[in-house]
Amino acid sequence: MSAMVVAVDVNKYFGPFHALQNVSLEISHGEVLCIIGPSGSGKSTLLRCVNQLERIDSGAIWVDDELVGFRQEGNKLYELTDAEISRQRLASGMVFQRFNLFAHMTVLENIVEGPVIVQKRAKSSVIPEAMALLERVGLADKKDAYPSELSGGQQQRIAIARALAMQPKLMLFDEPTSALDPELVGDVLSVMRDLATSGMTMIVVTHELGFAREVAHRVVFMDRGRIVETGTPHDILSSPKEKRTQDFIAAVLS
Amino acid sequence: MANIEHTVSVPPAKYSIAHLKHQPRRHYGRWLAAALIILALAMIVKAFAQGQIAWPVVGQFFTAPAILAGLWNTILMTICAMALGLVLGVVFAIMIMSPNPVLKYVAVFYIWFFRGTPLLLQLLLWFNLALIFPTLGIPGLFEMRTVDFMTPFMATLLGLGINQGAYTAEVVRGGILSVDNGQIEAAKVIGMTRLTMLRRIVLPQAMRVIIPPVGNEVISMVKLTSVASVIQYAEILRNAQAVYYANNRVMELLIVSAIWYLAVVTILSIGQHLLEKHYSKSLGRRTGKRTEPAAAEGV
């Protein structure tokens, strides 16, 4: 099975802060990978490097065998133009912690915006697809609502539908349930569970250890900009080898 | 709370007045203030009625061709100068936020210069440009005499429009900064380029913040055009002056002008109110609270 995402020796600095330290990672087609770790560990930064919301300072990332953000010429890597970066971003869909639905658009307008404006597809073929996606996340009746009229859980499910409307090869989730009231988390997780079952490649940064245990094929534990431990959900969550992982799991479960 | 009977120690008789009728307080102070103001107003009205104003002359010149031509020029200049100001404002707002230091500092200088000097002085500078540049053009391509190009209309348009651009740039920049960074990231991850993002996501949301101050500036612009009378632009005030130099009816013609300015501004105020209502309807739902003050502040 070929790799969907490969990261090799990725380093990222924010000023003097070394946010990612020689991070290497490989994710296969159809794999669901959960990244866990304390805040400030670099897990969100790693995710944001995959779709170039952050620029890496050294190392290299490939998405579906395409080098991300650079073009190789001889023994140098040249930075791509904005237009090329925008095109590369189409490979992945992203769901944010704070939903970030377009506030001035209705639910349906949010979903068709990308396919119609960016991918230049005909509105007449996009709208039925968008409705099918709304059906899938259980919110077809909200198509004409504005984001501010919806609960956080509903907004996040719309955000997932918006990302899927671009027909990405890979879905990135950046703490998708962290900003939700506890009773709304279940609906969002169930949409994500369905998506995993459908064979979508997913990278999920999350604090939901239950979700990781149930859905992930593999779990990565990060701390202070490094990958500390990688393994099956059972390995990492039930019998972690590293002391830092043990402490983190104990702290989250307590 | 549930066992309130046990805590009440005063005899029930004290509460037997609860059925009595409530009498509203009398606001004597308000009556007094209103009476004084009405008295003052009556005196002002009386003064004007007895003053040496030939009201028939006001009526006669209200729709005189010179006045109506001036009114049209005032409206035309307001539209043209405001349009130029908005275009420049958006361009310079984007420049000032650019990572390119040359673009950024050129925009900073533009705003600094045109906000830092009086409008009247700027109008005189444009109008007298021929003193330092006798000809204008691109060498070898085309050339024309500055005095032919810099008519009162052009000098006023450049003066008002470029000056307005400096103010609008700050307003637009504030509007763009008010858009949440998450909106920009969401636009990026669905593959939008910078220009598409600006057009589809950022500017429509910035509008809610930009519209109220720009509405006020349109209203200011109507009145600012009167400054152009000093460089012979034939707007309403200059034409009114031309008339009263001939017939000596100074106050009458100033009153005619004032009524026309008030009429135009009143219509614009209503338009501004409707526009704000429209934008708070489609954009404001995000947070009902945040739009209320913006809408109420207006006009």
Question: Residue B185: its chain A contacts at CB < 8 A?
Answer: 53, 96, 100
pLDDT at B8: 56
Output the pLDDT for position A91.
95
Long-range contacts, B285-293 (Cβ 8 Å, 24+): B285/A103, B285/A146, B285/A147, B285/A148, B285/A149, B286/A103, B286/A146, B286/A147, B286/A148, B287/A148, B288/A148, B291/B208
φ, ψ of residue B44 in degrees (nearest 5)? -65, -45
Contact (Cβ atoms closer than 8 angstroms) between residue B84 and residue B157: yes
pLDDT tens sequence across B19-64: 889 988 889 999 999 999 999 999 999 998 888 888 889 999 999 9
Question: Is B99 an interface residue toward A (CB < 8 Å)?
Answer: no
C-beta separation of A89 from B189 below 8 A: yes
| pLDDT confidence band for B144 (50 / 70 / 90) | confident
Is a pLDDT exceeding 90 seen at residue B288?
no
What mean pLDDT is reported for chain A? 94
Rounded to whole angstroms, the Cα distance separating A215 from B85 reads: 56
Q: Which of A100, A117, A148 sits opposite B186 (nearest CB)?
A: A100
Residue contact B205–A90, C-beta within 8 A: no
Q: How confident is the model at residue A81 (pLDDT cuts 50, 70, 90)?
A: very high
pLDDT at residue B290, as a whole number? 38
- For helices B236-247 and B65-96, what crossing angle results, to 10°? 150
User: In this complex, do A86 and B191 lie within 8 Å of one another by their Cβ atoms?
Assistant: yes
Tens digit of pLDDT for each residue in B160-208?
Answer: 999 999 999 999 999 999 999 999 999 999 999 999 999 999 998 998 8
What integer pLDDT is reported at residue B5 of this predicted model?
56
Q: Which pLDDT belongs to residue A229?
A: 95
Choose the closest CB to B182 out of A86, A93, A98.
A98
CA end-to-end span of chain A = 38
Rounded-to-integer distance, Cα B64 and Cα A249, Å: 86
pLDDT at A27: 96
The predicted model gives A102-128 an average pLDDT of: 95
Mutate to test the interface with A, among B180, B183, B189, B282 (most CBs of A within 10 A): B189
Mean pLDDT of B59-80: 94
B174 and chain A: CB distance < 8 Å anywhere?
A: no
The DSSP secondary-structure symbol of B24 reads P
Rounded CA separation A69/A48 (Å): 12
Beta-bridge partners for A93: A171
SS3 sequence of A188-254? HHHHHHHHHHCCCEEEEECCCHHHHHHHCCEEEEEECCEEEEEECHHHHHHCCCCHHHHHHHHHHHC
Taking CA atoms, A159 is separated from A137, A155, B187, in Å, by: 10, 6, 12
The SS3 of residue A71 is strand
Res B299 pLDDT > 70: no
Residue A195 to residues A12, A136, B58, B128, B170, Cα–Cα distance (Å)? 30, 10, 77, 70, 45
Q: Residue B245 burial (CB < 10 Å; 0-12/13-18/19+)? A: exposed
Residues of A in contact with B201 (CB under 8 A): 102
Instruction: Return d(Cα B172, Cα B91) in angstroms, integer.
Output: 9
| The pLDDT of residue B81 | 96
A 26-85 residues with CB < 8 A to B: 51, 53, 82-83
A143 — pLDDT class (breaks 50, 70, 90): very high
Is the pLDDT at B114 greater than 90? The verdict is yes
Q: Return the pLDDT at B294.
A: 37
Strands A92-95 and A170-174: parallel
pLDDT at A240 over 90: yes
* Closest approach of B198 to chain A, Cα-based (Å): 13
Q: For position A170, what pLDDT does the model report? A: 96
- Kindly state the average pLDDT of the residues B75-84: 96
Chain B (196-255) residues lying within 8 Å, Cβ to Cβ, of chain A:
196, 200-201, 204-205
- A94–B201 C-beta distance less than 8 A: no
The answer to whether A146 contacts B187, with C-beta atoms less than 8 Å apart, is no
Query: How many C-alpha atoms does A114 have within 13 Å on its Cβ side?
Result: 31
Chain B environment of A53 (Cβ under 8 Å): 185, 188-189
Spell out which residues of chain B touch residue A162, defining contact as CB-CB under 8 Å. Answer: 190
Residues of B with Cβ-Cβ distance to A90 under 8 angstroms: 190-191
A22 three-state secondary structure = strand
Residues of B in Cβ contact (< 8 Å) with A79:
none
Tell me the torsion sign for CA atoms B243, B248, B249, B251.
Answer: positive
List chain A residues with CB under 8 Å of B200: 113, 117
Minimal Cα distance from B207: which residue of A?
A104
To the nearest whole percent, how much of chain A has pLDDT over 70?
100
pLDDT at B15: 83
CB contact under 8 A, A104 and B191: no
Q: Please give the interface size between A and B, counted as residue pairs whose CB atoms are below 8 Å apart.
A: 75
Is residue A205 scored above 50 in pLDDT? Answer: yes
Residue B281 sits at the chain A interface (C-beta within 8 Å): no
What's the whole-number mean pLDDT along residues B100-107? Answer: 96
CB A59 within 8 A of CB A66: no
pLDDT band at B282 (very low <50, low <70, confident <90, very high): low
Beta-carbon separation of A89 and B191 below 8 A:
yes
Alpha-carbon distance of B257 to B278, in angstroms, equals: 32
Q: Are A98 and B182 in contact (CB under 8 A)?
A: yes
The closest of A159, A143, A155 to A107, measured between CA atoms, is A143
**Cα–Cα distances in Å, from B279 out to A108, A150, B211, B274, B292?**
19, 20, 8, 9, 12
What's residue B3's pLDDT? 53
Q: What is the mean pLDDT of residues A109-117?
A: 97
Spatial CB neighbours of A70, under 8 Å, sequence gap ≥ 6: A60, A77, A78, A79, A80
Residue B73 identity: N
A-chain residue closest to B181, CA distance? A100
pLDDT tops 70 at residue B10? no
Rounded mean pLDDT, B217-228 = 94
Provide mean pLDDT across the span B225-239.
Answer: 93
Does the pLDDT at position B262 exceed 90? yes
Asked if A113 and B190 come within 8 Å (Cβ–Cβ), the reply is: yes
Buried b (16+ CB within 10 A) or exposed e, B261-279: beebbeebbeebeebbeeb
The distance of A234 to chain B (nearest Cα, Å) reads 33
Half-sphere exposure of A69 (CA within 13 A, CB side): 17
